[in-house]
Amino acid sequence: MQTKPENDTDLRLKINSETARLPWTELLKHFASGSVVWVASSLDLVDVAVRISHDDKANISQWMGAGLLGKVTDQQAEAWLAADAALWAAVVHPFILVQEEKPKVH
C-alpha cells in the first residue's frame, strides 16, 4: 500500500533532517552532470522532495508548467557562482533539489 505524499511523515522527517545549506560551488559537479533541479522559493522544498519521491506526476507537471520547478539553467548557475551563493539542498536520488533562501519578511 502506497502512502499519499502528504501523509508520509516518516519520509518528510527524513528529508527535512537531511536538508542543508550548501555553497553553490559544492554543487557544481552535480550541475555539470545534469542532476540539479531548481525549486522556486514559493514552494516548500521538503514537500517537493517528498512528492518527487512518490512520483507525484500531477503536481510535478503543474509546477514545471508554471516555471516553479526545473533543471538549473546555465544563467542560474552563473549568477549563483558570481554571487558566491549558498542554497538549500535536498537529495532525492538521482536529483539534488536546490532552493534559494526565502526572502526575509520584516
pLDDT digits (tens, 9 = 90+) for 25-56: 999 999 999 999 999 999 999 999 999 999 99
- Residue carrying the nine cell digits 526575509: 104
Residue (of 32, 61, 48) closest to 88 by Cα position: 48
Model pLDDT, residue 3: 61
Contacts of 96 (CB under 8 A, 6+ apart): 27, 30, 35, 36, 37, 89, 90
Report percent pLDDT > 90 for the chain: 85
User: How much is the mean pLDDT over the chain?
Assistant: 92
Q: Which cell is 32 given? A: 555539470
